[in-house]
Amino acid sequence: MFQRGPLCACVCVCVTIGGVEVENGDRIIGGVEVQNYTIPYQASLQYNNFHFCGATLISSLWLVTAAHCWRPSHLFKVVLSEHHLSANEGVEQWFNVSNVIVHYMYNYRTFDNDIMLVKLDRPAVLNSRVQPVTMPTADTPALRTDTTCAVSGWGLTKVYNDYLSPVLRVVDVDFIPSCQYYYYFRITNNMICAGSRFGGKDSCQGDSGGPLICKNNFEGIVSWGIGCANPYYPGVYTKVRNYLSWINWVVQNDAINTN
């Protein structure tokens, strides 16, 4: 098992993937560049101004990411409204981190319960470029076999290289309910799989902690996989809807303790 952690001039046509506007330009592990800040909940976690993991904004103060992205809170920053990692586009919002909370049952060997909450040092300014993600609820229907999802991030642009994408990219992937058939006994009830049975579409190193969006709901967190975009080895994601009570408990108790 491998965690998915850190490690052009063309004619473009606008298309849509998972409700996100993108440019159909150079493809990377099946993905394309996101345009017009159409993923307003996507965040970049950065150490010394270098991206190492993705995260998802769930409120003006809190983000969700993968537990294997853990760093001491004083050693990294959060960037919202980010697109090009090496360019100052004038709309980014930078934050220090006041707290990080890893799930109490996280298993670093199996990646079970691979989820972590990150609290910003101040509320984000919500606007057209920065908005919390839509969370599933107890009444949200179960995902179906034919569901198409979208995963985004600044991860590797090609398999077997060490270069992160300089721009935010997104790829459409299929929800795969029979994930146990591909990974045998490594899948728990806290994990879901998405990708392509025949490979070519996947998240990869550097995308860790980022969002998997299905039917406009935040359903998964990029967690692990065997290689990237390999046939019969889809990406494995933390199942967000299993942690709704835990997320709400942490956020509510923090609000009580700070008042």
**Residues catalogued as catalytic:** 68, 114, 208
Structure tokens at 251: 């956020």
* 3-state SS class at 99: strand
Distance of CA 20 to the CA centre of its chain: 15
What whole-number distance in Å separates Cα of residue 124 and Cα of residue 204? Answer: 28
Rounded-to-integer distance, Cα 32 and Cα 35, Å: 9
Backbone angles phi, psi at 240, to 5 degrees: -60, -40
DSSP 134-156: PPP-TTSPPPPTT-EEEEEES-B
Dist. CA 39–CA 211, nearest whole Å: 10
**DSSP 8-state symbol, 133:** P
Neighbour count for residue 81 (Cβ, 10 Å): 21
In sequence order, the 6+-apart residues with CB closer than 8 A to the CB of 141 are none
55: left (phi over 0), alpha (psi -120 to 50) or beta: beta
What token pair was written down for 159? 């398999």
Largest CA distance in the chain: 54
Buried/exposed 32-67: b ≥16 CB within 10 Å, e otherwise:
bbbbebbbbbbbbbbeeeebbbbbbbbbebbbbbbb
